[in-house]
Structure 1
Amino acid sequence: MRTFTISGNKQTPFLSWLAEGIKEEFLSKGYTFYSAPEENIKLVFHFIDPEKPRPYRRQAQATFVVSVMETSEKSENIHKSAYPYLIRSLANHLMYILHNEDGTTDIYFLTPEQGFYKLTYRKGEAETLFKRIYERLEPLAASQLVIDNDFYDDLPEELWNGDEITKSLSESGKKLDRMNLLPAPFPLEEYLTPRDMRHLKKLYGIGGLSYGNLSARRDKESFWMSASGINKANMKTVGEDFLLIKGYDSDKNAIKVSVPPNITPKRASVDAIEHWMIYKEHPEVGAIVHVHAWMDGVRATEINYPCGTIELAKTVAELVRNSEDPSRAIIGLKNHGLTITGTDLDDIFARIEGKIIPQVPMS
């Protein structure tokens, strides 16, 4: 259902005006508004107090939360100033509103994947502003997450300590670190209360946030992949750092993971569904690396779908399919980074070394 609500305290006339404009735009596009939160609400615009940014207590993973806050404080690094509010409010997206001395207003949009772009509002351009907000956010809110895991303690004993492929993944993680392509995992515990951490783990099963991932095919049906929330520069343990992904259960909407017995496994990377689609369709693909960086001249997605969604996975898979050589494709993810396929990990690094641009262009 295309449903939405608006919550939180709209502390200024501008925020009240913004909330009303957003409401009218989404209603005009066929969304149904609920004045009180519903358990399965699809989209929430949650207005937060910068002094005490409290999260919206969503009841389901499918609820897409956009936190909204306003400030007049200038910052040399908007992303650094705003990103903690995204985390503290447990949001899928943050609208960070900054009023300028010239009368214009910049609205910065931030994502957990470190996507970052802005819209500028000038008086008299309200219709254009609300249309652009809708065009930016509606496809994301309508997307379907695939972040549940089904763990099977059936990993063959000869793989409990890894194999040559996990060794190559470990070495590749170190290479990414030497290339300065592994930002440190974001310290959630420094920004969230114990209660919010428990809520996050209950809803999404995660206790850490890290960026980028890498995988390598093991056989026709399975591949090794770096786990979620770990330091990719120091991968050692099967079931914690390396996970064997053996499929996707569409009925449960869950990634199937094979692990050793008697271990509490880490969760699979949210990008596992994307890697699974590529490996399934292209037997010649032997490895995939995802980094939050860029290269000139790459084909890119048109919409910055969230990581872990079917929509992003399908879009990337289509771009890989239509590339000149799917086994050696470099695909841009708008406002996000790169997904790179190769015949193996060495092939990928040989092609990208010296060509990577650390800063992802935002638009």
Structure 2
Amino acid sequence: MWEYLVHGEPTPRVAALLEGVGQALEAQGFRQNPQAEAPNLVLNAIAPENPKPYRRKAQATFVASVLELPHFPENPLQNLYPYLVRALSNVLLAYVPGQGVKFLTLELGHYEEPEGAAFYERVAARLRPIACSRLVINNLFEPDLEPELWEGDELTKSLHRAGKRLKEWDLLPAPFPIEEILPPEDLRHVKRLYGIGGLSYGNLSVRKDERRFWMSASGVDKANLKAVGRDILMVKGYDPGRNAILLSIPPHVEPRRVSVDAIEHWMIYREHPGVGAILHVHAWMEGVPATPFNYPCGTYELAQAVAEKVREAPDPTRAVVGLKNHGLTITGRSMDEILERIEGRLIRTVPMV
């Protein structure tokens, strides 16, 4: 049984929205439990002048903050993203009574559900994949990286070159300055719960050998990937018992966390020995197969959905998979080969549906 609770002080119209969405969630297998210590989903009503967060106690709790507005802003990312971050949310629901809800995700996706027939059911259906997902963002660092790799190798140099080219193509969206948006207490809470060092978008990796791969770190400048353990990390496995990514690091380095999509890359490399590199960008290509749900980044469910689409591709070693309302995951024999294939073919605006 999945549990949810309502938090905050909703306006009368937001209260009516949350009641309707709550009933729709219950019809889809959820149970409201106001005393839940670690609910699957929190519907957090916030106000524009003071978007108070729900201070979750477990990574497994997903927070959907709900904000009433008189109208939708022309630039939803610029105008609404700070509310999403300040409220420590996984997703923001901007509600304009009589018009509908605009969803905004941490990964920069934004899409609408207009009011009309089955409105509450449609909003609940958007929230369900988020609430039922399992994050795989814990990292276990082991100081066992071979000394000859402490300064990197030809593969890490290929990641450095790729990051530079992505910057030249304007495919590295400027990260939101989380340190400037959140007050110190909330920033400490987020870092304690998730180990987040910053918000940045896109990631890339290259296979090292049969079981290991180099991957970009989380929250770093992808246009300047250099230092092993800080900008680039060696992923050596996934521990399902501890639900954590295993990493080899030099013993003298205070490491950064690997990209949240490491579980997705791990699944693809494990299943397809011919895949030598993987690139994820917030862009699009015409006619690509896409995942059916907008799963959050770093979840096992998103990794499974992408891995399934790679498996179905005519050539899994040269696949292009769309992540719904998010971007692309692209496999290749090498990072240079991926960049050659996609140059000039990418659409910077991801379609939101």
Which TM-score band (shorter chain)?
over 0.9
Instruction: Say yes or no: does 1:196 pair with 2:186.
Output: yes
Deviations 1:184-225 (A, max 9, x none): 221001110100010001000012010000000000010000
Instruction: Say yes or no: does 1:34 pair with 2:28.
Output: no
| Structure 2 counterpart of 1:297 | 287
Counterpart of 1:135 in structure 2: which amino acid? A
| Structure 2 counterpart of 1:83 | 81
- 1:174 is paired with a residue whose SS is helix
Match of 2:265 among 262, 272, 275: 275
> Deviation of residue 282 (structure 1)?
0.4
Deviations 1:94-147 (A, max 9, x none): 101134xxxx3131001100011001114xx4xx01110111111221011100
> Deviation of residue 360 (structure 1)?
0.1
> Deviation of residue 73 (structure 1)?
4.6
Q: Could you tell me whether the CA contact under 8 Å between 1:304 and 1:333 is conserved in 2?
A: yes
Quick one: distance in 2 between partners of 1:358 and 1:25?
35
Match of 1:324 among 310, 314, 332: 314
Quick one: distance in 1 between partners of 2:20 and 2:99?
15
Quick one: distance in 1 between partners of 2:63 and 2:84?
10
Quick one: distance in 2 between partners of 1:350 and 1:236?
22
Match of 2:106 among 106, 112, 124: 112
- Aligned-CA RMSD value: 1.0
> Deviation of residue 22 (structure 1)?
1.6
Instruction: Say yes or no: does 1:7 pair with 2:28.
Output: no
| Structure 1 counterpart of 2:92 | 94
- 1:311 is paired with a residue whose SS is helix
Quick one: distance in 2 between partners of 1:146 and 1:244?
17
> Deviation of residue 47 (structure 1)?
0.3
- 2:337 is paired with a residue whose SS is helix
| Structure 1 counterpart of 2:130 | 140
Q: Could you tell me whether the CA contact under 8 Å between 1:69 and 1:95 is conserved in 2?
A: yes
> 1:136-285 alignment to 2 at 5 Å?
136-285=126-275
Q: Could you tell me whether the CA contact under 8 Å between 1:3 and 1:31 is conserved in 2?
A: yes
Quick one: distance in 1 between partners of 2:51 and 2:337?
45
Quick one: distance in 2 between partners of 1:339 and 1:349?
12
Quick one: distance in 2 between partners of 1:133 and 1:230?
34
- 1:143 is paired with a residue whose SS is coil
Q: Could you tell me whether the CA contact under 8 Å between 1:166 and 1:224 is conserved in 2?
A: yes
Q: Could you tell me whether the CA contact under 8 Å between 1:293 and 1:357 is conserved in 2?
A: yes
Quick one: distance in 2 between partners of 1:311 and 1:75?
32
> Deviation of residue 74 (structure 1)?
5.0
| Structure 2 counterpart of 1:121 | 115
Counterpart of 1:20 in structure 2: which amino acid? E
Instruction: Say yes or no: does 1:71 pair with 2:69.
Output: yes
Deviations 1:145-169 (A, max 9, x none): 1000000011111011000100010
Q: Could you tell me whether the CA contact under 8 Å between 2:25 and 2:121 is conserved in 1?
A: no
Question: Which deviates more from structure 2 when the two are superposed, residues 247-256 or residues 180-189?
Answer: 180-189
Quick one: distance in 1 between partners of 2:268 and 2:29?
34
Counterpart of 1:40 in structure 2: which amino acid? A
Counterpart of 2:114 in structure 1: which amino acid? T
Quick one: distance in 1 between partners of 2:220 and 2:244?
20
| Structure 2 counterpart of 1:359 | 349
Deviations 1:323-351 (A, max 9, x none): 00000000000000000000001110111
Q: Could you tell me whether the CA contact under 8 Å between 2:197 and 2:218 is conserved in 1?
A: no
Quick one: distance in 2 between partners of 1:197 and 1:133?
29
Quick one: distance in 2 between partners of 1:196 and 1:133?
28
Q: What fraction of aligned residue pairs are identical, expressed as a percent?
A: 55
Quick one: distance in 1 between partners of 2:174 and 2:308?
31
Quick one: distance in 2 between partners of 1:98 and 1:265?
43
- 1:133 is paired with a residue whose SS is helix
- 1:221 is paired with a residue whose SS is coil
Is there any run of 5+ residues in structure 1 with no aligned partner, and where? Answer: none
> Deviation of residue 71 (structure 1)?
0.9
Counterpart of 1:234 in structure 2: which amino acid? N
Quick one: distance in 2 between partners of 1:163 and 1:260?
14
**TM-score in terms of structure 1 length:** 0.95
> Deviation of residue 20 (structure 1)?
1.2
Quick one: distance in 1 between partners of 2:13 and 2:54?
21
